[in-house]
Structure 1
Amino acid sequence: MPNRPSAHAVYSELKDRILGFTLYPGTRVTETELAEDFGVSRTPIREALQRLAAEGFVTIRPKQGCFVRELDIEEIDQLYQVRIALESLALELAQAHMPRSALESLARDWDPGQSDKAPVSVDAMAQRDESFHITLAQGSGNRVLAGLLQDVNARIHIIRRLDFTDRERIDVTYTEHHRIAELLLARNLSAARELMSEHIRYSQEFARTLTLRRLADLRRAAPGSSGNG
């Protein structure tokens, strides 16, 4: 008898489906249907859904069921506004408190010549990108700031990762991260802030546009769709 997937394996597969929009935002999922799909009991399904709910990927509504979280573009835009403010403060505090050796290491890690060695998977590259920003926030010496930034990043992860489905965007990310670290080393805070804001805004717009395009394509391809919008 083949091994049945564990709760962690179910969680990973469902998360991939949500991030890839195979499970469309707003879709209702049931433990029974998923148990049949994965060939497991409802227990690992329930555990996986509870974990996804804790991470904000699904919403469990009493007496209604479990739903893939809707994408609220306006809320995502507001989260990006908050992210820019947090990252700006992180740069200011990191310049004041982060050891020069740590900034030099960060600059080396993001040398544009290293971009051809970028992680292969989208999720791995997204995690590497996030580590750059969290390293600066942690280097600020303000744990509250770092925690808030991690929370914002988690809430926009579903579209932020799409920024790394494009090879050019990966190359640009290396170049801009390297430049930001260099500007902090040169004590040019204003230029570092300006570049960070531009970096985040462009990433936001790229991921937002790609998300809306992908959702539109999936909607047109859905059974019963006329394809006319």
Structure 2
Amino acid sequence: MYVQLREMILSFDLYPGTRVTETELAEHFGVSRTPVREALQRLEQDAYLLIRPKQGCFIRQLDIAELGHYYEVRQDLEALSLRFACEHMSDRALKDLGEAWDPELQPGRSEEPGEMVSREESFHVALAEGGGNSVLVNYLKDINSHIRVVRRLDFTSGERIDRTYAEHHELVHCLLRRDLPAAEALMQAHIAQSEAFAKSLTLHQLAQRRDTRFGQR
């Protein structure tokens, strides 16, 4: 139930600001209210929605200014992650990660945005895990949960997908050379592109993207 509702939020079947109730969702899925309530509570913990007593649940609005704050923190976290990865990640682990992002072997532009976001997040988490700091890993995962919906919109572009493969592949090779300054510069530019996309969004543009990508619901 949690996964299904999260997917509905990320795909804008449940649009920012939409009010939902346990009863409506239970009827929609043909289940009791108990699993719906548990899923909604988890979604609130993961910052996908707000639960207001006696009013219902509301899908979180996208706050562009707040997203910018998350990207600012992400820049510093990713820089720290690269430093640890450069110091501690083995050549074998880095080569395996690089091969997974080889532009010559990428699945292609037909890759679904949700799949691409999951792969992209896994790349950044793998670098953090390779650095050996579990606290940093958890912080990055938390940041990811707050910016995921925007990244999903960003990856509706085939050109953006191609560029991401190339950037990740090059970044890993910088780490293989233990060239931390070059890796940091690539990461900073990579995140800045995502942040610029997030800042360009308005709710009207989100609605247009929803209608174009997923069709009228």
> The TM-score by the shorter chain falls in which range?
0.7 to 0.9
Structure of larger gyration radius = 1
Contact 1:21 1:215 in 2 (8 A): no
Contact 1:176 1:199 in 2 (8 A): yes
Q: Which amino acid aligns with 1:31?
A: E
| Aligned counterpart for 1:15 among listed residues 6, 30, 55 | 6
1:35/1:147 Cα in 2 relative to 1: closer, same or farther (>3 Å)? closer
Equivalent residue letter for 2:177: A
| 1:46 counterpart = 2:37 | yes
Q: Which residue of 2 aligns with 1:131?
A: 122
Give the partner amino acid of 2:55.
Answer: Q
Q: Is the 8 A contact 1:162 1:207 kept in 2?
A: no
Alpha-carbon distance change, 141 to 161 in structure 1, aligned in 2, over 3 angstroms: same
Task: Give the equivalent residue in structure 1 for 2:15.
Answer: 24
CA distance in 1, matches of 2:124, 2:118: 10
Alignment of 1:32-111 (within 5 A): 32-111=23-102
**Which of 139, 142, 147 matches 1:148?**
139
Runs (4+) off by over 4 Å: 210-213
TM value normalised by structure 2 = 0.87
Correspondence for 1:170: 161
Report if aligned partners of 1:59, 1:69 keep a CA contact under 8 Å in 2: yes
1:115 aligns with 2:120: no
- The alpha-carbon deviation at position 152 of structure 1 amounts to 0.9
Partner Cα separation in structure 1 for residue 110 and residue 90 of structure 2: 27
Letter of the aligned partner of 1:185 in structure 2? Answer: L
- CA drift at 1:118: 7.2
203-212 or 107-116, which deviates more: 203-212
Q: Do the aligned residues in 1 keep the contact of 2:68 with 2:198 (CA within 8 Å)?
A: no
Residue 104 (structure 1) shift: 1.7
Structure 2 CA distance for aligned equivalents of residues 139 and 154 of structure 1: 20
The whole-number CA distance in structure 2 between the counterparts of 1:117 and 1:108 is 15
Q: Distance in 1 between matches of 2:195 and 2:148?
A: 11
User: How has the CA–CA distance of structure 1 residues 125 and 219 changed in structure 2, closer, same or farther, with 3 Å as cutoff?
Assistant: closer
Structure 2 unmatched ranges of 5 or more: 212-217
Deviation per CA, 1:38-78, whole angstroms, max 9, x where unpaired?
Answer: 33332232222122222221111223321111211111111
For 2:175 and 2:148, locate their aligned partners in 1 and report how far apart those are by CA, in whole Å. Answer: 26
Deviation at 1:210, TM superposition (A): 5.4
Q: Secondary structure at the match of 1:66?
A: strand
Aligned-CA RMSD value: 2.3
Alpha-carbon offset, residue 101 of structure 1: 1.5
Q: Check the 8 A contact 1:162/1:210 in 2, yes or no.
A: no
* Offset of residue 122 of structure 1: 1.9
Q: Which deviates more, 210-219 or 65-74?
A: 210-219
Q: Secondary structure at the match of 1:63?
A: coil
Q: Which deviations, in whole Å up to 9, do the C-alpha atoms of 1:119-147 show, x marking residues without a partner? A: 83222211111111111111112221111
Q: Which residue of 2 aligns with 1:159?
A: 150
* Same amino acid, percent of matched pairs: 54
Q: In the superposition, relative to structure 1, how do residues 218 and 176 fare at CA in structure 2: closer, same or farther (>3 Å)?
A: closer
**2:83 counterpart SS class:** helix
